Amino acid sequence: MCGIIGVYGNEGSVKETILLGLISIQHRGQDTCGIATFSQRMHLEKGLGLVGQFLTPGRLKNLHGNVGIGHVRYPTIGRGAPEDAQPFCLLAPRGIAIAHNGNVINYIELRKKLSKKVKFKSKCDIEVILYTLAEELKKADRLNPQTIFRGVERIFNLVCGSYSVVSVIEGAGLLAFRDPYGIKPLVFGMKDNSYMFASESVALEVSGYKMVRDVAPGEAILITKGGKFLSKTIVKGNLHPCIFEWVYFARPDSVIDNISVYEARLRLGKSLAKEIKKTKTKADVVIPIPDTARASALSVAQQLSVKYREGLIKNRYIGRTFIMPEDDERKRKVRSKLNPIRSEINNRKVLLIDDSIVRGNTSREIINLVRNAGAKEVYFASSSPPLKYPCVYGIDMQTRSEFIARGKEIEDVEKEIGADRLVYQTLEGLINSIGRDRNFCTACFNGVYPTKVSKETFRIIEKERRSRH
C-alpha cells in the first residue's frame, strides 16, 4: 500500500499542489516520499521520512514545472531503503518519471528478463513497469498518444498484480492508468484547466479540485502537454477493488469507487452489532481503538444501546502501527501510541472495537492496557472477518504464519489475545456492508484471488519476506 499523486496544471509550478496532496494521504505510507516534476528536464527529490520532514522548502525550490507526480511509500517488495523511494526517473532515451501503488506479483520473473537489457537500481517493483513502458516507447519512430497507449497495453499483458500508476513522459504529458482488476484505487479531478490524479478523493478536495470519477480498471488517461484529455480502455476491466481500503487504509472522508468510506464503516458497525448480540455480550461501554474503528464503534454502541466513549487517546506523533515493517517495532509503538482514560474504563465491562486482527500482537497489547486501567472484563470485536490468507497485492501480510486466526477456532484466538470474549464480523456482513452489488478482492479472508497466483509465487514471496528479518 502506497499513495500517489499526479498533477497537470497551468500555474507554472505544481509542487505545492502535490505536496498538499501527499500530506493528505501520508497515512498510506510512512517510510519514504518523493516528488518529480518536469520543466525542460526532470527534477526529482525523494528520500526517507515523512512528507513534512523530508520535502523541506529547500528541496521544494528545486522542483520546477507545470506537471509532476508524488509518492508516499510503505514497502512490500524491497526493504524500504533510500534507493527504493519513488518516483523513479529514466532520462534516456526518453525522460520518464513514474510512481505506483500496488505490488507486482511476477516481479522476480520480469526482473530476470529485463536485466538482460537494463540495469536495475533498486529492489522496488515499479522498475519493471518503468522499463516495460520505456522499452515499448523506444520502439516507436515518433511519440504520440497511440504509442503511449501501446506501452500501457504491453504492461497490462506482461505485468501481473495490482498497480495504479502515474507517470510524466517528456514531450507527451501526464499519464495515469489502473490495472485491469482495479485492485488499488485511483481517482481524478479538475480545477479550471488543471487535472489531478490521486489514491484518494480527499487529496483532490484539500487542493480545491472537483472529483470527476475513478479511473476505470484497464483504462489509461493521458493529459497531453497542451492540456488535452485523452482516455482509452486498453483492456476490458473486471473491477475487484481491495476491500481493506474501506476497512482500514483509506481516510474516512474519502470516497473510493463511489463508496463513502465513512458510511461503509458505519454499516460495518451495524452488521457487527448483530454478531455481538448473538453472543449475549453485555458491556457497560463501547470504546473504539483509534482511529479507523471510530465510525464502526459508534454504530455498534447505537445498535446495542450502550454508551460510546473515547477511552483510548492516541498520540498524534506516532505513525500507523500496522504499516510499520517490523513486529517488535509495532508492539513498542502501541505502548507509546495509546493511553487509557481510566475514568471511562475502571470497574467497567469494556467492549473494544477494532477494524481487524492480523497478527494479534497489537490486540494483545491493547487488551492488557485496558485491563491495567481497571476494566472488569474486556471484550474485543473486529469489524472484519478472520484474516487467514496472504495478500499478494500490496499489503504487508504476505505469509501464512503472520495470521493469528489461521488454523484456529475463535476460542483459540480469544485466549491468545487475552480477551474475555472475541467477536468477528462475517464475510457476508463485510461484503454487504461495503457494497452488496460489487465484486471485491477478499483474498485475505477467503483465499480467492482475482489474478492467477501460483504456489511458486507464494514460495518466492515467503522467501523474500524471511530475508528481511
The predicted-structure confidence for 59-101, as pLDDT tens digits, reads as follows 999 999 999 999 999 866 555 678 999 999 999 878 999 999 9
Please state the rounded mean pLDDT for residues 387-411.
85
CATH of 260-467, one of 3.40.50.1100, 3.40.50.800, 3.90.700.10, 3.40.50.2020: 3.40.50.2020
Q: Of the ranges 57-61, 138-142, 329-333, 453-457, which one carries the lowest mean pLDDT score?
A: 329-333
Task: List the catalytic residue out of 2, 33, 124, 391.
Answer: 2
Determine the residue type at 156: F
- Give me the CATH code for the 2-239 domain, please: 3.60.20.10
160 is catalytic: no
* Radius of gyration of the chain measured on its C-alpha atoms: 22
Residue 330 pLDDT level (bands cut at 50, 70, 90): low
Q: How far apart are CA 176 and CA 155, in angstroms?
A: 13
Residue 79: CB atoms within 10 Å: 15
- 252, with CB counted inside 10 A (0-12, 13-18, 19+), is middle
Closest CA to 163 of 397, 391, 1, 399: 1
Strand order in the sheet with 67-73: 41-48, 32-39, 67-73, 2-8, 194-198, 187-191, 210-214
Residue 455 pLDDT level (bands cut at 50, 70, 90): confident
Q: Checking phi first, is residue 218 left (phi over 0); if not, alpha (psi -120 to 50) or beta?
A: left
According to the model, what pLDDT value does residue 13 have? 75
Q: Checking phi first, is residue 368 left (phi over 0); if not, alpha (psi -120 to 50) or beta?
A: alpha
Closest CA to 180 of 164, 201, 196: 164
Please state the rounded mean pLDDT for residues 420-438.
96
Q: Are 337 and 373 in contact (CB under 8 A)?
A: no
Q: For 162-218, write each residue's pLDDT tens digit.
A: 999 999 999 999 999 999 999 999 999 999 989 999 999 999 999 999 999 999 999
Q: For 228-267, write each residue's pLDDT tens digit.
A: 999 999 999 999 999 999 999 999 999 999 999 999 999 9
Cell of 387: 484474516
According to the model, what pLDDT value does residue 323 have? 46
> Percent of the chain scored above 70 by pLDDT?
93
* Domains 2-239 and 260-467 belong to one CATH topology: no
Q: How many alpha carbons lie under 13 Å from residue 354 in its C-beta half-sphere?
A: 22
Residue 119: CB atoms within 10 Å: 8
Residue 459 pLDDT level (bands cut at 50, 70, 90): confident
pLDDT > 80? residue 7: yes
Closest CA to 21 of 69, 76, 63: 69
Q: How far apart are CA 468 and CA 209, in angstroms?
A: 40
Q: How far apart are CA 192 and CA 45, in angstroms?
A: 27
Q: Checking phi first, is residue 16 left (phi over 0); if not, alpha (psi -120 to 50) or beta?
A: alpha
Q: How far apart are CA 309 and CA 298, in angstroms?
A: 9
Q: For 11-56, write each residue's pLDDT tens digit.
A: 667 999 999 999 999 999 999 999 999 998 999 999 999 999 999 9
Determine the residue type at 277: K
Q: How far apart are CA 150 and CA 165, in angstroms?
A: 15
Kindly provide the b/e burial profile for residues 355-388, where b requires at least 16 CB atoms within 10 angstroms of the residue's own CB. Answer: bbbbbbbbbbbbbebbbebebebbbbbbbbbbbb
Q: How far apart are CA 210 and CA 189, in angstroms?
A: 5
pLDDT > 70? residue 365: yes
Residue 462 pLDDT level (bands cut at 50, 70, 90): confident
> Mean pLDDT for the chain?
92
According to the model, what pLDDT value does residue 394 have? 87
Residue 280: CB atoms within 10 Å: 7
| Furthest C-alpha separation in the chain | 76
Q: Are 104 and 122 in contact (CB under 8 A)?
A: no
According to the model, what pLDDT value does residue 43 have? 96
Strands 96-104 and 88-90: what pairing? antiparallel
Please state the rounded mean pLDDT for residues 375-396.
94
According to the model, what pLDDT value does residue 127 have? 97
According to the model, what pLDDT value does residue 104 have? 95
- The residues pairing with 196 across neighbouring beta strands, listed in sequence order, are 7, 189
According to the model, what pLDDT value does residue 142 have? 84
Q: Are 220 and 23 in contact (CB under 8 A)?
A: no
According to the model, what pLDDT value does residue 317 have? 76
Residue extents of the structural domains in the chain:
2-239, 260-467
Q: Name the residue with cell 450502550.
A: 306
Per the model's pLDDT, the better-predicted residue between 320 and 443 turns out to be 443
Query: In a 3-state reduction of DSSP, which class is residue 4?
Result: strand
According to the model, what pLDDT value does residue 322 have? 54
Q: What pTM value is reported for the model?
A: 0.93
pLDDT > 70? residue 361: yes
Q: Are 378 and 446 in contact (CB under 8 A)?
A: no
The DSSP-derived string for 365-401 is HHHHHHHHTT-SEEEEEESS----S---SS-S--SGG
Q: Are 91 and 134 in contact (CB under 8 A)?
A: no
Query: In a 3-state reduction of DSSP, which class is residue 286?
Result: strand
According to the model, what pLDDT value does residue 148 have? 97
According to the model, what pLDDT value does residue 460 have? 74
According to the model, what pLDDT value does residue 286 have? 98
